[in-house]
Chain A
Amino acid sequence: MAIKVRQPGLLTTVQDTGRFGEYALGMPPSGAMDVFSYQVGNNLVGNEDGAAGLEITYFGPELEFTEAAVVAVTGARMPPKINGEEAPLWETFSVEAGDVLSFDYLQSGARCYLAVAGGIDVPEFMHSRSTYTLIGLGGFEGRALREGDELQVGELNGKPDGLSARVGLAVASQQIPAYSKETELRVIIGLASYRLTEASMEEFLGTEWTVTTDADRVGYRYRGGEIEFVEREQPAGAGADPANVVDFGYPIGSVQIPGGVEPIVLMNDAVTGGGYATIGTVISADRDRLAQSKTNDKTRFVSVGLEEALAAREQRRRQLADIKSSLGG
């Protein structure tokens, strides 16, 4: 069973939960940017957690199924179509051999996820099927999909009979996130926040930032304010730029402000360390929503404490578990 790529869309990549545990080698995790939508997709089609799917960014592909399959599309509102007829979002549906899945224009959010029962079967690289395009490894030949590619779908482990019963399963509407053009992201201030003046920290938290066109899987870049660093004599190894400190590891979600004008939130494909002062970190529970903000959208950063961050993480974990059990997972 295969999926033929008739049109690749703008940036369609194979992703799973991510390539964790290799950060010390300088290997970022890659993986689905919006883990929530990706995981629910797997739940809908009855896949094991961690099965690979497609992440579809901004403009959707055209995909032809060579055999019948059970699929689900979650995440951004980029309405899927089967042979031109509208298909549901956040709901399991079946496709027949020869059917073509395409997508309408993006209406809200930034990326959607296609889950296929059996998972996308590409070779594992360092225990993950996620694509890391910057170095050309993982996923489908280490790159975004192109016209003419053929993706293999994994074996169903002898449970195709139960599969048709999944068709029509849907995520309850109150569990489906709404994506607006204004996003609030909670951050833990820290690591090198001592490098900002008090007024600049207020400015960082008070500014409505705009997502620039550069925002991608590596990082989200913002414009809209100007940040000043505390004047000091730079220590050995920190370089002359006041935005620099002595090199250290960058947390995923950490915020750096090269030049003081464009904050960057590092995401799944980012460099793992360097010498920019990271002044805070977007909490893990909010990175799903960050990944659904898009170029030209507005973002505010809100300072929270560790307790709130951990509570938000626990709430998200519980919500995902609830959805999974409601879908018979």
Chain B
Amino acid sequence: MDDKTVKSPMPGTFYRSPDPESAPYVSEGDRVSAGDTVGLIEVMKSFHEIKSEQDGTVTKFLVENEGAVDAGQNLVELE
């Protein structure tokens, strides 16, 4: 299971959409392909796109929008 998760490479704040007015990048049940953006991490005054490294279906978000994350923390569970 562990290898099917998308991890945050860095500590920061997790966002599910590109800006507060937009829809989330992906939602539970959505298909994602390797390279698709699933969220943003904000740290040191910049935003970094978090991309899935594999194909799959989003089963669960493990961090809520605007949640604090550590480096290496699981963000999104895929199946």
List residues of A whose CB falls within 8 A of some B CB.
Answer: 10-11, 57-59, 104-107, 213-216, 294-296
Contacts and interface: CB of A to CB of B under 8 A. Distances in A.
A106 B69 CA distance: 12
Contact of A105 (B43, B48, B68, B71): B71
A10 B10 contact: yes
Nearest to B71: A106
Given A58-B71, A106-B71, A294 B11 contact: yes
B44 interface: yes
A10 B68 CA distance: 18
Nearest to B42: A213
Given A59-B71, A106-B71, A106-B72, A213 B43 contact: yes
Contacts, number: 50
Contact of A58 (B7, B10, B42): B10
A58 B46 CA distance: 13
A214 B43 CA distance: 6
20 contacts: A10-B43, A10-B44, A10-B48, A58-B10, A59-B10, A105-B72, A106-B70, A107-B71, A213-B13, A213-B43, A213-B44, A214-B44, A214-B45, A215-B44, A294-B11, A295-B13, A295-B44, A295-B68, A296-B11, A296-B12
Contacts of A214: 44-45
Contact of B43 (A58, A104, A107): A58
Task: Tell me the dominant secondary structure on chain A's binding face.
Answer: loop
A295 B12 contact: yes
Interface string B42-54: 1111001000000
B9 interface: yes
A149 B60 CA distance: 39
Contacts of A59: 9-10, 71
A214 B44 CA distance: 5
Contacts of A296: 11-12, 68-70
Given A58-B71, A105-B71, A296-B68, A11 B11 contact: no
A31 B6 CA distance: 34
B71 A11 contact: no
A195 B4 CA distance: 54
A295 B44 CA distance: 9
Nearest to A57: B44
Contacts of A295: 11-13, 43-44, 68
A214 B48 CA distance: 14
Nearest to A76: B71
A216 B45 contact: yes
A229 B49 CA distance: 40
Contacts of A216: 44-45
Nearest to B47: A213
B64 to A, nearest CB: 14
Contacts of B70: 106, 296
Closest 8 CB pairs of A and B: A105-B72, A106-B71, A296-B68, A216-B44, A59-B10, A58-B10, A105-B71, A59-B9
Contacts of B7: 105
Contacts of B44: 10-11, 57-58, 213-216, 295
A262 to B, nearest CB: 14
A99 B9 CA distance: 23
Contacts of B45: 213-214, 216
Contacts of A105: 7, 9, 71-72
A214 B45 CA distance: 5
A201 B45 CA distance: 28
- Residue picked from A58, A215, A294, A295, most chain B C-beta under 10 Å: A295
Contacts of A294: 11
A209 to B, nearest CB: 14
